[in-house]
Amino acid sequence: MDTRPVGVFDSGMGGLTVLHECLVTMPHEDFVYLGDAARLPYGPRALEEIKGFAREIAGYLEAQGVKLILVACNAATSAALPELQSELTVPVVGVITPEAHAAVQATRNRRIGVLATQATVSAGRYESLLRTLDAGVEVQQIACPALVPLIESDDPYGAPTVDAVREYAKPLQAANVDTVILGCTHYPLIRPIFQRVFGRNVTLVFSAEETAREVAETLARKGIENDASREGRYRFLSTGDPEPFRLVGARFLQLPIDEVAHVALADLKAAA
């Protein structure tokens, strides 16, 4: 039995959709989640800058005594996963590889679309992974800069969000994709809008379940699981204002968030 928590981080609250699946898949494990709200959003930033942020946060979480780190952010996974895996002493899992596997298995016509932030599209990791898994697959990636602010707004299901999804969907529909990767952890919150726009003939892939399964399998393979008979706990940290995180975060997590502790950016930089 290893009682250390699993560390999870994201640029803000989107990663809470992944944490939700982890809590369901591993109810006996403890989790600590860090949202870098002070530097949100990551999507428009340069990949090297995002890599620096990810190294700071991962170093901080490792210093807090976590036993595994889950990068629950597509942009940070794209920018920094190989470096984090080589630099840290604990296992590091990202969110992109499970989604690529799921998309290749789901597609029928081998035409896959990716909707993501600009940073994730620029990194090209989805296309690289998809072509590694199936060299004949056709991949079209679309950057969606308007979606994260809309999803975190007071009205994520309003007309502006629907209009934005329709606009971003057009090139994928024209390319006749039959599978679309929702390549940002925010996007599942408006999954009904995506499904309405694309229709039932298009498979939407957001592999929070596969990611949670990979975390569970990694813990088992390393022999660092917690006692399966216990009930796990979870706590939250934010570099931004804790109260908005607590209120809006519950919508993403679909579970209560009682308290959020503040972490200074200086503390993260010191841990890098």
Catalytic residue list? 73, 184
Concatenated DSSP letters for 76-94? HHHHHHHHHHHH-SS-EE-
Q: Dig out the tokens for 10 from the structure.
A: 């994201």
Torsion on CA atoms 11, 125, 109, 186, rounded to nearest 10: 0
Q: Are 182 and 146 in contact (CB under 8 A)?
A: no
A 10 A CB-CB count for 153 gives 13
Widest pairwise Cα distance in the chain: 52
149 preceded by cis ω (within 30°)?
no
Which residues have C-beta within 8 Å of that of residue 61, sequence separation ≥ 6?
A: 7, 9, 32, 34, 69
Q: What's at 217, amino acid-wise?
A: E
